[in-house]
Amino acid sequence: MRLLAAVDIRDHANTVLDTTRSFAEATGSTLDLVYASAELARIPMDQDDMWAGQRSDERRSLEALRDSLPEHMRGTARVLVGKPAEVLPPATWEYDLVIMATHGRSGLKRLMVGSVAEAVLRGAHCPVMTVRIGTGD
């Protein structure tokens, strides 16, 4: 089974990774990690040094998460450039399951902030399991 953990390296990545690690262990699966960087998409194209530095920092953070996994389940670590709601669904093609976080927001807060988890649920090419984090305010 191919598992993909969509993590936000700045927000609750370890919570998602803990749940995903348990699932991967139980199924004997390899676990790939992906992080979608909207920040990189906002850096002007003529700012190569800034773009390369930011991407390098994000890649190191994601690789550190991957390296915290037991060696037998370690897969790839990819940084995607763009809004998570847009770049994550196409990244799901080769997987059997995607695991990601959700804040569980509703009402006006959800309308204002949006829901990456919902966008991935609607556009993914495989089942998506969400891990609720935070209080959902």
Give pLDDT tens digits for 7-48. 888 777 788 888 888 889 999 999 999 998 876 555 555 556
Question: Distance between CA 75 and CA 30 in Å, rounded?
Answer: 6
More confident residue, 124 or 11: 124
Contact 29, 73 (CB under 8 A): yes
pLDDT one-digit tens code per residue, 46-85: 556 655 666 778 888 999 999 999 999 999 999 888 888 9
Mean pLDDT of 93-102: 91
Question: Distance between CA 66 and CA 105 in Å, rounded?
Answer: 28
Q: Which band of pLDDT confidence, cut at 50, 70 and 90, is reported for residue 108?
A: very low
pTM of structure:
0.81
Q: Which band of pLDDT confidence, cut at 50, 70 and 90, is reported for residue 112?
A: very low
Contact 93, 124 (CB under 8 A): no
As given in the structure block, the two tokens for residue 67 are 């390296």
Question: Distance between CA 36 and CA 84 in Å, rounded?
Answer: 5
Contact 34, 9 (CB under 8 A): no
More confident residue, 101 or 103: 101
Question: Distance between CA 74 and CA 15 in Å, rounded?
Answer: 17
More confident residue, 131 or 96: 96
pLDDT at 45: 58
Q: What angle do CA 63, 67, 73 make, to 5 degrees?
A: 115
E strand spans, the chain? 2-6, 30-37, 74-81, 97-102, 128-132
More confident residue, 56 or 2: 2
pLDDT at 57: 81
